[in-house]
Every structure is written in C-alpha cells, then in structure tokens.
Structure 1
C-alpha cells in the first residue's frame, strides 16, 4: 500500500491546541497519530514534551522542528497509521537518518503513537480548557533505538491568558498582537467602538465598562494570566487594579509615565490596598522606554509579559 503524501502543516504551538484537535478527531472517529518530543540533546526549536498530530490524510497539526524534519515526521506518522505500531525515532547526532541534519545541532527523539488513548487525551483537553494543569505519560516501544527513554511524563499548563483593560490605539494594537501571539485574550473597555474593532480577536465576549467607580470582578485571572491597563484617562484604573491585585495573576501592569505610576500607587494606597499587593504592580510597562507609537508600545509591553510568564513547567 502506497503511503499518502503529507499535505498541510498547521503550526499550532500550545499543547491545549493539539489536545483539543485530537479530542475533536476522536469524537469524529477520525484516526490520527500523536507525536511527542521525548528527549532533546543540545539546541532545539521546541521544548521537550512538545506535541503534534498527523491525520490519516496527511494533515499535521503542531510541529517539532523549524521545518527541517517535520515533513519526515509526517511520513513516519502516516506509515505508523498504516502498520498500527508505535515508532521511536532519533534525529540528529547518532541517528540512522544521516541525510536529515538538525541545523541547531544535538539530537531529538520523538515518539509516534498511531493509537493514542483518546479518552485520556480528551480528559486532558477538557482539563486544560478548564484552566487546570495536566500530566501525561508516554511509553515508547521497547524495540526503539533509545532504550533509556522508554517512559516520560510531562506536565502541561493552560494557555497563557492576556486580559486587557483600556481604550484607544494602544489597546487595539495590544489586542491584535496578543491574539497573533496565541494568548487567550479577554478585553474590557468603556469604548464601544474599540470593543467592536477588537472583540473578534478575544476568546470571550468583551466587557463594556460603564463607570470608573463601579466595583470590578476579574474572575478570569489565574496564575497563568497577565492583566494590563491601557488608559490615558487613568480614573478607570483604581477599581480594575484593586480587583486584579486580589487575584493570583502572574503579571499585573499599567501604561503611563513613572510619575503617573507613583500617583497610581498613591491612589491604591488610599483604597487600603496592602503594600505586598502593590509590590506586584508593574509600571510603567514595556521593555523599551519612551516609545510614542502604539504598535511599538504594544510589542514592548507584550515582550515584558512574555518574559514574566516563562517560568512554567512543561
């Protein structure tokens, strides 16, 4: 039987996206092979534990390299779907596939499972959707090339969430960039035109803010979240920041000058926000100071958020 040629490769990155795709395929009773990065030596485009899947028609969702071996992984996955047998493949240093080099050096060991436990994967997808971390264990075939990597367990955390409260050009630019970067985006704004322009980027309906002094609840903020206020009219900030500082959000920050930030903290002190909570508030946000255009400010701010959210286990 001739192996079908690989078709589309979708560069999904987060485990929740791969697992959600797998759960949908399982529900539709469509076969797929699950691919997992079990071991890395030296440099690599993805981290150990990264996931991908290949459908029987050849479509690959996710990636394990920066294009240098993904097509070969597709071919092996299609073969595994035909034979029904797991495959453990080593690329790079020490690999028998000498024609496939890893430009970054080192080696990558991947497991291809043509018959994954779809019930387990579906439960994992549901847990990640509910903002809960999950652990998955992967067992390689005993006749694979690397007998020291027979079993690996990885922890997968929910997709990072970016919650933006603001209005104007910077709010819109930040929403566009956050969506393009793959954040689970939530939006709050007093401006209905800004909401109309950005709501399609968010994963939940935008919240229309109607009064600066109205108490706020930010239940969407968890330890995998970042919250940013993007206002030039700073009277909207105190109630929002007070609510955010009562959550376990990993990053809380605000737009503005250093003088504005000191005034902001004075206002929050007057609202009896504890010093320990105020110490969590970052500002002025952004890795590059004194920027004037909205797009650059958004890039600078999101870079700081990304750096703060990187201390996670996968």
Structure 2
C-alpha cells in the first residue's frame, strides 16, 4: 500500500475516532482520459476537509460542496462525473473523460486498523464491500490482484509498500535513497564498512547492521522488494547477490561495467545458483541514458526498477560498443 492510501486511511480512522462524520470515496471505473485509476481513494470529513484524490481537483470540489450543503449519503452509493463533454470540461476531465465513484459512509473504522497492521507485516489484504447490503469483509489477497467491481461488489486490494534494499552507503546510495523515497519506496541500507555507515544520516532511511548476505536473509525479500548492490566491492556485493538471486525480489541489480558484471556472473556460477537465477541479475544496472554523475546514475537505476515494477520491458539498455561509458547506466 502506498503512502497516500495509508494517509487517507489513517486520517479517516482518526476523524471517525474523534466523532466526525467521514465518507470514503473510491474510483470505481474510468472512461477516456480520467486522471486517476480505479481504486484511487479519498476521505471526506463532514466539514469538507479532504485527504487523497480521485481527480485533478474539480470533482473533489463538488464532493466537498455536496457534503457542506447537506447531501450526505448514509449507505454505499455510486455517482458519475463527466457523462457529457460539457460536464467533463466542467470537472476538469480531459478528452471527455468520465469517472464513476463509490461513496461510502465510514460507520465503523475498526477494519482500517486491521488493514494498516496487516500491510505493515508485508501482507496483502482485500476488502470486499457489498453495495446492496453495506456489508464488508477482509480476507487475504493474491499477488497481482487489482481493484475490481462487478456492479454489486467492490474489491479493494491493500498491499505492503515497495521496499528498496541498498548494499553500500556511498554517495550514489544517498542520492538514490532520496529519489526512491519520492517514489514511495521504503528504503534500507546495509554497509559493514565503518567509514561509510558512521556518516550515514538520511531521514526515513533504515540502517541494517551486519554482513550483506546475512542482512538479505533476515530482510526476507518478497515480490515487493528491489535489491541493488552498489559498493563496487565484489566481496560485499557478491555476498548480497548470492542470497538475493534466490529470493522472490522483483528486481536485483549490481553496479559495474559490462565486463565486470560478466566476471561477476562467472563467480556466481561457482556457487549454488542456477543459470535462471543468475539471469535475473540486472547488470550493468539501470537504463542507458548517458549518465555520469551520481544523480544521473540514480535516475537510470530507478527508471529501470520502476519499469520492471510496472511490467514494462526495460529496453533502453547499454549497447556493447558503449561499454566505455558510465559503469552504472545499463
């Protein structure tokens, strides 16, 4: 679950606990160039205070106006914006876009605490709401499952945030950490070298002490985890990769030139890794964008991580003749 959804749920829970009227609004369906995808979430308080987003802003303004003027639904119901081109233009929906929203009064916020607790344990949770009865239930979700609505039941999936584990606490790691946080990754750093970790001070980044192989095992990488080896020290990077490549992590990359990464693959083949596991390694790491500075290399790395996360083939890879360029931009 990304930080925006968590923020929406936390505010909704706290507002309800304080005795305020609260409504959850969820994007059910979109047509055309609607700005927010199905499952996007918003919480609306009885005085018009809002957190989250279901559009570019104009739809939110109308929802606030409805609540402030007394139009407050007492059971789950649907509302559609942008049926005509005129309405689409009025509500800022480009190219005749249309939004179908679910409005739900938050009568009991107990389920929110359960969702936050379970996703905090890296679990996937689904909440199914029956619009006819207003009854809702929580149950385990399956990875890859998305928001769905069949006309009667809406099923919203809440999952753990994506995590990035960096092996190495050098300058590149510092820049990469800040950019990854902006993309809503939970960021962790491991580097047993005292001269690096003693000066590490990045807000909201978790330091994991220990040797890289032990840290990767204890970290329990899952399908929401990316692992990058950035020390340029084979003894440290390879230790982490030996465990990472056997894990379900969705992305595993290593810094270094094409030649160095071929040598790394030969070393890894000497251990208990299969050819398929070694083939999972992204090395050289990152997309080829001609990067040279730490910030440019970080952009290249994150671009590749995001492309893999989103199921888009990372095709902008380094050509063989470009091997003399940046060691990180793959």
| TM-score range relative to shorter protein | 0.7 to 0.9
Q: 1:36 Cα shift?
A: 0.6
Would the aligned equivalents of 1:80 and 1:112 in 2 still touch at CA under 8 Å?
Answer: no
Query: SS state of the match for residue 200, structure 1?
Result: coil
Would the aligned equivalents of 2:209 and 2:215 in 1 still touch at CA under 8 Å?
Answer: no
RMSD value, Cα: 3.0
Ranges in structure 2 where 5+ consecutive residues have no aligned partner: 134-149, 313-330
Q: 1:263 Cα shift?
A: 1.4
CA distance in 1, matches of 2:69, 2:178: 40
Would the aligned equivalents of 1:34 and 1:112 in 2 still touch at CA under 8 Å?
Answer: yes
Q: Which residue of the partner structure matches residue 6 of structure 1? A: none
Q: Which residue of the partner structure matches residue 9 of structure 2? A: 19
Ranges in structure 1 where 5+ consecutive residues have no aligned partner: 1-11, 143-147
CA distance in 1, matches of 2:236, 2:173: 14
Compare 18-27 and 218-227 and name the one that shifted more: 18-27
Deviations 1:225-277 (A, max 9, x none): 11111122332111111121232111111111111111111221222322221
Q: Does 1:106 align with 2:97?
A: yes
Compare 20-29 and 84-93 and name the one that shifted more: 20-29
Q: 1:127 Cα shift?
A: 1.8
Higher relative contact order (CA 8 A, sep 6+): 1
Compare 180-189 and 91-100 and name the one that shifted more: 91-100
Q: Does 1:125 align with 2:116?
A: yes
Would the aligned equivalents of 1:174 and 1:295 in 2 still touch at CA under 8 Å?
Answer: yes
Query: SS state of the match for residue 270, structure 1?
Result: coil
Query: SS state of the match for residue 219, structure 2?
Result: coil
The 5-angstrom pairing of residues 77-226 of structure 1 reads 77-78=67-68, 84=74, 86-94=76-84, 97=87, 99-140=90-131, 149-191=151-193, 193=196, 196-202=199-205, 205-209=206-210, 217-226=217-226
Say which of 53, 61, 74 aligns to 1:63: 53
Change (3 A) 1:62 1:198: farther
Alignment TM-score, normalising by the size of structure 1: 0.81
Aligned length: 293
Q: Which residue of the partner structure matches residue 8 of structure 1? A: none
